[in-house]
């Protein structure tokens, strides 16, 4: 009998039990219905929830649609940094959608996933840098509880963290803790105050679920947050910079690739 003292989302969970519904089986049927040839997506893929980087790459004719991606709900485009092909999927907003796509990417040839979301500032960082490398995300959404038991932290893989956290001034990011919510319009003052007390830097909608998936499935996932707003509490908010932050976002991805080890993702970083 389920323990009725638990919230429904915490009931009937066996974290070692395999799922009946598998992403590879869904994609098999999608390819059949769409008459698609089976082939691999790029080994490095980027989730672009706001779609700004994707729009800029397409506008500059630097990205084209990738026909190996069989997902029913999204489109994947390919571009290059040096000799490394990168896949990018725009408008993947929210924890459940992000993990749905991540599950499908990793059975489609992806070896490393980078999420580049925008975020609201909870505690003003002491650095002028505006890209936060999320090292831990508070689990205030639902998806993560299907992958990790209550009380388990959603964190960046320790090997990746050690590679990406350094003291060099040229790095575009700084390490930070985030708050992942699936109800952005319920960010009350009480919630914000509680997060401020827990040294949370920013609020976003995907990281806790992506890191829970990554930990449960042993997949390399890296979540960045571009600090762009204070929840629209003043006019002139949500400014990202040149080309809506796309120029700096592309530089950040290039820096990440240069720092990642060959053994970690099976790729030679760009020279």
pLDDT the model gives residue 2: 57
- Contact, 102 vs 217, CB < 8 A? no
User: Does pTM top 0.75 for this prediction?
Assistant: yes
Fold of 37-230+243-260: Rossmann fold (3.40.50)
Residue pair 152/220 in contact by the 8 Å Cβ criterion: no
Q: Are 98 and 210 in contact (CB under 8 A)?
A: yes
What is the distance, to the nearest Å, from the Cα of residue 271 to the centroid of all Cα atoms in its chain? Answer: 25
For the chain, what are the domain ranges?
A: 37-230+243-260
DSSP code string of 195-209: HHHTT--EEESSHHH
pLDDT at 14 over 90: yes
CA distance 145 to 208: 10
Higher pLDDT, 131 or 2: 131
Q: Does the pLDDT value for residue 5 go beyond 90? A: no
Ordered DSSP codes for 216-246: HHT--EEEEEEEEESTT-STT-----GGGGH
Does 237 have pLDDT greater than 50?
no
pLDDT average, residue stretch 74-78: 98
pLDDT in tens, 81-115: 999 999 999 999 999 999 999 999 999 999 999 99
What gap in Å lies between CA 85 and CA 69, rounded to an integer? 14
If pLDDT is split at 50, 70 and 90, which confidence band does 231 have? low
Backbone angles phi and psi of 106, in degrees to 5: -75, -15
- Cα–Cα separations (whole angstroms), residue 127 to 50, 89, 130, 145, 201: 24, 29, 8, 33, 11
pLDDT digits (tens, 9 = 90+) for 197-217: 999 999 999 999 999 999 999
């Amino acid at each position: 009998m389920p323990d009725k003292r638990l919230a429904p989302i915490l009931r009937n969970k066996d974290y070692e039990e395999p799922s009946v519904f598998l992403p590879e089986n869904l994609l098999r049927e999608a390819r059949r219905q769409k008459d698609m040839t089976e082939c691999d997506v790029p080994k490095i893929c980027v989730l672009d929830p706001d779609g700004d980087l994707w729009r800029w790459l397409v506008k500059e004719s630097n990205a084209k649609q990738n026909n190996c991606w069989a997902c029913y709900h999204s489109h994947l485009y390919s571009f290059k940094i040096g000799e490394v092909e990168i896949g990018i999927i725009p408008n993947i907003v929210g924890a459940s959608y992000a993990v749905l796509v991540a599950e499908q990417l990793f059975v489609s040839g992806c070896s490393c996933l980078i999420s580049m979301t925008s975020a609201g500032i909870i505690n003003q960082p002491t650095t002028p840098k505006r890209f936060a490398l999320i090292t831990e995300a508070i689990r205030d959404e639902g998806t993560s509880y299907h992958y990790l038991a209550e009380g388990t932290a959603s964190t960046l893989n320790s090997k990746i963290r050690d590679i990406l956290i350094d003291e060099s001034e040229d790095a575009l990011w700084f390490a930070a803790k985030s708050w992942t919510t699936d109800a952005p319009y319920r960010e009350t003052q009480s919630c914000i105050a509680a997060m401020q007390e827990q040294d949370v830097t920013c609020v976003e909608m995907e990281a806790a679920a992506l890191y829970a998936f990554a930990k449960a499935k042993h997949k390399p996932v890296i979540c960045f947050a571009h600090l762009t707003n204070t929840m629209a509490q003043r006019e002139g908010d949500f400014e990202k910079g040149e080309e809506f932050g796309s120029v700096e976002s592309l530089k950040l991805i290039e820096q990440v690739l240069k720092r990642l080890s060959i053994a970690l993702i099976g790729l030679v970083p760009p020279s």
